[in-house]
A and B are shown apart, each in its own frame.
Chain A
Amino acid sequence: MQPEPAQTTDADLLRAIAQRDDQALAAFYDRYRLILFGLLVRILNSREEAEDILQEVFIQVWKRAADFDEDRGKAFTWLVTLARSRAIDRLRQLSARERLATATAQEAPPEASDAVQHAYQAEQKEIVAEALAEIPEDQRQTLLLAYFDGLTQTEIATQLKTPLGTVKTRMRSGMIKLREVLGNRSESLRSF
């Protein structure tokens, strides 16, 4: 699959999608399907559920592209927030039993095939991994439990057998540290 010309920014694509350009939607999908699907599988632990949510997310993009405000942040952030929010909602609907069943039925994931996208996203992955490595372990653990497992602060406190106040402090400190470290790498952590 060929990447679309580099000068087509995310904001350009979203403007075109808002004008009902389905080719722009296809291009936007091709640009972010790998990272988004990886995220959804990580949260839902099921390819089937993740594909279902992936489809819902891009239908939402089609319907709500006009709501995207470039001045308020990157399109990638808008998209990821939309996708994660839907995935966490779905995760909270699924019972623990269902989650276990889908996890055991999970197939081996095929590797991402688009070399350009893969190389670009591998670079971003390395930057974020380095940033996470700079955060103390206890803080990183609370961030990851919240972001990928959709646990509330109370659930994290129960799981880690740690006072709720401590969880809140670790989470806030972890986010502040992550923002600080990523801020120093903002040039590298770019979007289209």
Chain B
Amino acid sequence: MIHEDHKALLPFVSLSTIDGAEAIALEQHLETCADCRAELDAWHETAGALAYSVAPLEPSAGVRERILAEVRAEAQVGKVNNVVPISRPAAPKQLQPRRTWGFEAIAAAVIFIGLVVGLVALWRQNVRTREDLARLQDQIKVTSSQLDQKQKLLQLLTTPGARMASLAGTKEAPGAHGMLAVDSKSGRAVFMAQGLPPAPAGKAYQLWFIAGKRAPMPGGVFKTDASGEAMMDDQLSADALTAGVFAVTLEPQDGVRAPTGPMYLLTPA
């Protein structure tokens, strides 16, 4: 998909009605496209106005109290955590109240300090757990996305009538290669590439479909991961399905209607 295709999905994002591969592809596009991010903000404004169409209702007074109690408790824990132990200068002997403390006062102080230390330890552990959880969730998201892509490829490769084409690296990336699998019936395509150098800032790779002597037809835009690999879904038009030659060029990150940059992959003659 190119920039315009992603842009057309933005109203749906503001209504939370897209998911799966479409949502993942769009999320990747939004990371690099300021234009679409601004457009999405505008769609959120429009969707957000729908909230005004409902009747306002009064929640229980307890909700406000619970919110304020929770944030104040958290602020208090934060203050305790921020206390840095300092070495006080030795106080003159006569000012030390030690002899006046009873056993109960000392015990209470010890318990209090123990509670504070325990509370801080628990709070820190909670923060660490949350951070670990967030990291694990990110990893799961990435793994799940990769698994999803691979399942799609497998599904496509086992579809009766699926067509496959290999692409070889050009002089720009002699070690690179790619593979395109297309279901001629539905127009679904999955493209995989390996060995491509990372695209420079503001640039991305774009797939092209070439049928006879007609102008190349634009396909999706993609970036590689740190290991030079990329995988992308695409939905081909009826015209693109007639293509017998495929190529990949380096283009502006939003994609272009006609190739302008150097070619990195091409179907061997």
A, B from the same assembly = yes
Tell me the A residues contacting B by CB distance below 8 Å. 20, 22, 25-26, 29-30, 33-39, 41-42, 47, 50-51, 54-55, 58-59, 62, 72-74, 76-77, 80-81, 84-85, 88, 109-113, 117-118, 121-122, 124-125, 127-129, 131-132, 143-144, 146-148, 150-153, 156, 168, 171-172, 175-176, 178-179, 182, 189
Contact of B68 among A20, A26, A39, A51 (CB under 8 A): A26
CB pair B41 A112 closer than 8 Å? no
- Nearest first, the 5 A-B pairs at minimum CB distance are A34-B56, A175-B11, A77-B48, A124-B52, A146-B15
Chain A residues within 8 Å of B47, by CB:
81, 147, 175
Residues of chain A lying within 8 A (CB to CB) of residue B50: 128, 132, 143-144, 147-148, 178
Q: How far is the CA of A85 from the CA of B44 in the complex (A)?
A: 12
Say yes or no: A22-B68 contact (C-beta < 8 A), given A113-B58, A128-B49, A182-B49.
yes
Q: Complex formed: what's the CA distance from A72 to B60 in Å?
A: 32
Query: Contact: B12 with A77, CB < 8 Å?
Result: no
Give a binary string over B9-43; 1 marks a CB under 8 Å from any A CB, 0 the rest.
00110111111000000000000000000100111
Check if A73 sits within 8 Å of B63, measured CB to CB: no
Q: Would you call B51 an interface residue if the criterion is a C-beta within 8 Å of the partner chain's C-beta atoms?
A: yes
Q: Is B52 a contact partner of A127 (Cβ separation < 8 A)? A: yes
B residues within 8 Å of A by Cβ?
Answer: 8, 11-12, 14-19, 38, 41-60, 62-64, 66-68, 70-72, 74-75, 78
User: Which residues of B sit under 8 angstroms from A176, Cβ to Cβ?
Assistant: 11
The answer to whether B59 and A72 touch across the interface, beta carbons within 8 angstroms, is no
Which residues of B sit under 8 angstroms from A33, Cβ to Cβ?
58-59, 63-64
Q: Contact partner of B44 among A39, A81, A88, CB < 8 A?
A: A81
Tell me whether B60 and A51 are in contact (CB under 8 A): yes
| Residue numbers in B under 8 Å from A153 (CB-CB) | 12, 17-18
Cα-based distance from A38 to B56 in the complex (angstroms): 5
Does A152 lie within 8 Å of B19, measured CB to CB? yes
A51 touches B59 (CB 8 A): yes
Contact partner, A55, options B49, B57, B66, Cβ 8 Å: B66
In this complex, what residue of B is CB-closest to A117?
Answer: B56
Q: Which residues of B contact A127 (CB under 8 A)?
A: 52
In the bound complex, do residue A34 and residue B71 qualify as a contact, i.e. CB atoms below 8 Å apart? no
Question: Is B56 a contact partner of A80 (Cβ separation < 8 A)?
Answer: no
Option from B14, B57, B64 in Cβ contact (under 8 Å) with A29: B64
Question: Do A55 and B58 touch (CB < 8 A)?
Answer: no
